[in-house]
């Protein structure tokens, strides 16, 4: 027990260090480069005015959004995998992101713009959309006799994701050309939030939901054993499961509201975390968050700098790396 | 058996009539409304000096005929796959075959923009062959062998990967004014030049699949049954997969990736004419044509003069259908 804790703490320190490295590399690429020394100077208030504008007004908000969204997606994936007892569950694959995209288009219909102070409500709308998708998936994957069917979850989720994406494209095309291309880029996983208000819109969700999930790690351990054992250990299965599912949907919808439909982080992060720290969610949850943060920051940096000047969305980088990993895990998995 | 034949002939005749009506409707309406006599005259007594005749001849006709051919190809491809994999949920779009071909199209346009269409078809075919091989390899990994669910999930993830890569290629090489095309597909770009390649390939592949429809029916009833009744199981399976992949790749080269046609139409055909693939294939071909011509018509008419993505139209129909089938399959299993 003690060694596991030690291992988890050591792994999180290493991950944090890696995140810092990626952060510095990321600032050192792009059209205006900031070397680590310049960054340090600017943070201490000694840099040139140009550097401080570049750092605080342009680079930092985007990086913060990538970090927060990565944490949210990693933890959401971990919660979903634990709840569904399916190691392949991912909020993108099972259609929650597509539902969130639908919510985003609804927001555009109501407010007509993505600028201004109403932006703060975007996560709320994506959450509603994600909730619709999650509700439908649960209904279709639930059997009155057999209970919850983990394999059906994937199949129905994939179909619902196709449906919601189609609906989003139809609705966005009815608005105008620009919205349509925005929606297409969004679905490809483009981190579009670049201002402080976007960070502000995202932050409260994570501040509430991440501690909530950590607090319920013990319950998640018991739920991942299965319905009957968990009930035997004194867990109110229906209530706890609904709470944690809501938490997962809220985390992933809020994250993608600012970062675009980025898939496969919610799949890979928990798997890597479990490899480091074993099955206990007290350790796996925080580690998944850190791994998710590292992956998304790295993907954004790669997409932005390696493919300059056009740049490709971070979601494409994560899909290019994550999908082969998913297929590898899937080929080896024996259930179903 | 006699009754089945007469039923098949009646349905075949009705479907042909319906296809004719929808073709005429689709040709005559659009951004510029044209009446039936004009269409008739434009088709049979073409006069190059009239604008309306030129619209019909240069834009509408190739587009509508292209939609019919692509619909036919996708539906037959879906029917073949459902027979070979004995999977109700098989479809070239869902299984990721289309996505492989569409990635190839993106790469071709990015690396050599002026590529002739005849070469594009060949590359698309290779793309769909590669993804078919990948999917079967991945799904066959576990000791349980290839099950319908494994095949579908592996295909869907591969489709996500390929379409993600295609949009990456499109964005990086700045093909992005056509970005919607990679997501959604469309028939607006089809011209006579494309049809001269499309029509012979698709018709030949459909006829080829009709030629082994009998052993295919046996195969769809079970491998042991087919072998026991004297069918050459591996050969039939290979031929059917080959034809299905050829049809899917060819249709993607013309109209982009359109899913769910190959899922819906064979089911309706099976409901109408039973389990015999000698009947299912022709009815699927006609049904696919009708469905895609109507979807194309709808996509043009919902919000004129702008066009709606055609695959979005089909997906809105197809997704509820898929969920319904998946639920029914589960009932049968339990």
CB atoms within 10 A of CB A219: 21
Q: By percentage, how much of chain B surpasses pLDDT 70?
A: 90
What is d(CA A102, CA B268) in angstroms, rounded to the nearest whole number?
Answer: 30
* End-to-end CA gap in chain B: 33
Over the stretch A220-243, which tens digit does the pLDDT of each residue have?
A: 888 888 778 888 887 888 888 888
The string of DSSP codes covering B223-278 is HHHHHHTT--HHHHHHHHHHHHHHHHHHHHHHH----SHHHHHHHHHHHHH-S-HH
**A9 and chain B: CB distance < 8 Å anywhere?**
no
> If phi over 0 gives left and psi between -120 and 50 gives alpha, with beta otherwise, what is residue B174?
left
CA pseudo-torsion sign B311, B180, B244, A154:
negative
Nearest by CB to residue A184, choosing from B94, B156, B179, is: B179
Q: Which of residues 284-313 of B touch A (CB under 8 A)?
A: 303, 306, 308-309, 311-313
Q: By percentage, how much of chain A surpasses pLDDT 90?
A: 23
Nearest to A70 by CA among A323, A298, A289: A289
What radius of gyration, in Å, describes the C-alpha atoms of chain A? 20
Domain range enclosing A150: 2-332
What is d(CA B84, CA B77) in angstroms, rounded to the nearest whole number?
Answer: 11
pLDDT surpassing 90 at residue B309: no
Q: Which residues of A touch B180 (CB under 8 A)?
A: 169, 180-181, 184
Count of structural domains, chain A: 1
For residues B266 and B79, the answer to whether their CB atoms sit within 8 Å is yes
Q: Where are the domains of chain B?
A: 66-333
Query: Residue B154 and residue A88: Cβ atoms within 8 Å?
Result: no
Binned at pLDDT 50, 70 and 90, residue A336 comes out as very low
Nearest to B183 by CA among B119, B261, B68, B105: B105
Q: Which of residues 35-74 of B touch A (CB under 8 A)?
A: none
CATH topology of domain B66-333: ABC transporter involved in vitamin B12 uptake, BtuC (1.10.3470)
Query: Residue B138 and residue A169: Cβ atoms within 8 Å?
Result: no
What radius of gyration, in Å, describes the C-alpha atoms of chain B? 20
Quick one: tokens of A156?
């129905």
What is d(CA B242, CA B238) in angstroms, rounded to the nearest whole number?
Answer: 6
Select the residue from B157, B166, B333 to test the A interface by mutation, using most A Cβ atoms within 10 A: B157
What is d(CA A151, CA B22) in angstroms, rounded to the nearest whole number?
Answer: 40
**A313 and chain B: CB distance < 8 Å anywhere?**
yes
**A166 and chain B: CB distance < 8 Å anywhere?**
yes
CATH number where A82 lies: 1.10.3470.10
What is d(CA A271, CA A290) in angstroms, rounded to the nearest whole number?
Answer: 13
Q: Which residues of B touch A166 (CB under 8 A)?
A: 309, 311-312, 315-316, 319
Q: Which of A76-90, A281-295, B97-111, B147-161 has the highest mean pLDDT?
A: A281-295
Over the stretch B42-61, which tens digit does the pLDDT of each residue have?
A: 777 777 777 777 777 777 88
Binned at pLDDT 50, 70 and 90, residue A185 comes out as confident
> Rounded to a whole number, what is the distance in Å from the CA of B311 to chain A's nearest CA?
8
How much is the pTM? Answer: 0.83
Over the stretch B2-44, which tens digit does the pLDDT of each residue have?
A: 777 888 899 899 999 999 999 888 888 776 667 777 777 777 7
Query: Residue A169 and residue B158: Cβ atoms within 8 Å?
Result: no
What is d(CA B40, CA B21) in angstroms, rounded to the nearest whole number?
Answer: 12
CB atoms within 10 A of CB B223: 13
> If phi over 0 gives left and psi between -120 and 50 gives alpha, with beta otherwise, what is residue A36?
alpha
According to the model, what pLDDT value does residue A191 have? 82
Over the stretch B237-282, which tens digit does the pLDDT of each residue have?
A: 889 999 999 999 999 888 888 888 888 899 889 888 888 899 999 9
Query: In Å, how far are A124, A325, B166, B293 from A318, measured between CA atoms?
Result: 25, 10, 14, 37
Say if the ipTM goes beyond 0.90: no
Residue with tokens 């005849």: B118
Quick one: tokens of A180?
């349509």
For residues A300 and A293, the answer to whether their CB atoms sit within 8 Å is no
Q: Which residues of B touch A150 (CB under 8 A)?
A: none
Provide the mean pLDDT of chain B: 83
> Rounded to a whole number, what is the distance in Å from the CA of A5 to chain B's nearest CA?
34
């Amino acid at each position: 027990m003690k060694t596991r804790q030690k291992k988890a703490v050591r792994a999180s320190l290493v991950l944090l260090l890696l995140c810092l490295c990626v952060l510095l590399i990321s600032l050192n690429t792009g059209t205006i480069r900031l070397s680590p020394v310049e960054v340090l100077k600017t943070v201490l208030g000694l840099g040139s005015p140009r550097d401080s504008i570049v750092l605080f007004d342009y680079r930092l908000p985007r990086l913060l959004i990538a970090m927060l969204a990565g944490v949210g997606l990693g933890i959401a994936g971990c919660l979903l995998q634990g709840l569904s007892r399916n190691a392949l569950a991912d909020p993108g694959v099972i259609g929650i992101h597509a539902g969130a995209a639908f919510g985003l288009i609804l927001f555009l219909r109501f407010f007509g713009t993505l600028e201004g102070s109403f932006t703060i409500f975007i996560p709320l709308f994506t959450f509603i959309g994600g909730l619709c998708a999650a509700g439908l998936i649960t209904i279709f994957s639930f059997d009155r006799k057999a209970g919850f069917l983990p394999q059906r979850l994937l199949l129905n989720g994939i179909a619902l994701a196709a449906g919601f994406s189609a609906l989003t494209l139809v609705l966005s095309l009815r608005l105008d050309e620009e919205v349509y291309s925005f929606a297409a880029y969004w679905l490809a996983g483009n981190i579009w939030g670049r201002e402080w208000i976007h960070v502000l819109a995202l932050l409260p969700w994570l501040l509430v939901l991440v501690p909530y999930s950590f607090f319920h790690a013990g319950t998640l351990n018991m739920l991942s054993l299965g319905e009957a054992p968990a009930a035997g250990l004194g867990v109110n299965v229906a209530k706890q499961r609904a709470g944690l599912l809501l938490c997962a949907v809220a985390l992933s919808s809020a994250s993608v509201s600012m970062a675009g439909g980025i898939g496969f982080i919610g799949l890979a992060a928990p798997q890597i975390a479990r490899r480091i720290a074993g099955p206990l969610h007290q350790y796996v949850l925080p580690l998944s968050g850190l791994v998710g943060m590292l992956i998304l920051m790295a993907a954004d940096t790669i997409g932005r700098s390696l493919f300059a000047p056009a740049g490709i969305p971070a979601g494409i980088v994560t899909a290019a790396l994550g999908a082969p990993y998913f297929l590898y895990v899937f080929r080896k998995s024996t259930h179903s | 058996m006699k009754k089945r034949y007469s039923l098949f002939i009646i349905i075949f005749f009705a479907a042909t009539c319906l296809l004719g009506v929808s073709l005429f409707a689709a040709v005559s309406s659009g951004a510029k409304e044209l009446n039936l006599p004009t269409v008739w005259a434009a088709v049979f007594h073409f006069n190059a000096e009239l604008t309306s005749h030129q619209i019909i001849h240069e834009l509408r006709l190739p587009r509508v005929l292209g939609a019919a051919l692509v619909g036919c190809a996708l539906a037959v491809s879906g029917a073949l796959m459902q027979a070979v994999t004995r999977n109700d949920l098989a479809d070239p779009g869902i299984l990721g075959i289309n996505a492989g071909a569409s990635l190839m199209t993106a790469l071709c346009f990015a690396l050599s923009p002026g590529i002739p269409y005849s070469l594009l078809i060949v590359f698309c075919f290779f793309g769909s062959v590669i993804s078919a091989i990948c999917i079967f390899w991945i799904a066959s990994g576990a000791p349980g062998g290839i099950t319908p669910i494994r095949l579908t999930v592996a295909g869907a993830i591969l489709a996500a990967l390929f379409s993600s890569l295609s949009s990456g290629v499109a964005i990086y090489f700045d093909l992005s004014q056509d970005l919607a095309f990679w997501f959604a597909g469309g028939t607006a770009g089809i011209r006579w030049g494309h049809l001269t390649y499309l029509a012979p390939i698709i018709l030949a592949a459909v006829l080829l699949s009709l030629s082994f429809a009998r052993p295919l029916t046996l195969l769809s009833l079970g491998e042991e049954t087919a072998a026991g009744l004297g069918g050459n199981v591996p050969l039939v399976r290979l031929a059917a997969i080959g034809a299905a992949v050829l049809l899917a790749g060819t249709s993607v080269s013309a109209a982009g990736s359109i899913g769910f046609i190959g899922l819906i139409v064979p089911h309706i055909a099976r409901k109408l004419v039973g389990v015999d693939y000698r009947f299912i294939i022709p009815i699927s071909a006609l049904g696919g044509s009708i469905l895609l011509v109507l979807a194309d018509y709808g996509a043009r008419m919902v919000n004129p003069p702008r066009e709606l993505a055609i695959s979005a139209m089909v997906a809105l129909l197809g997704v509820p259908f898929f969920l319904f089938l998946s639920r029914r399959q589960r009932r049968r299993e339990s």
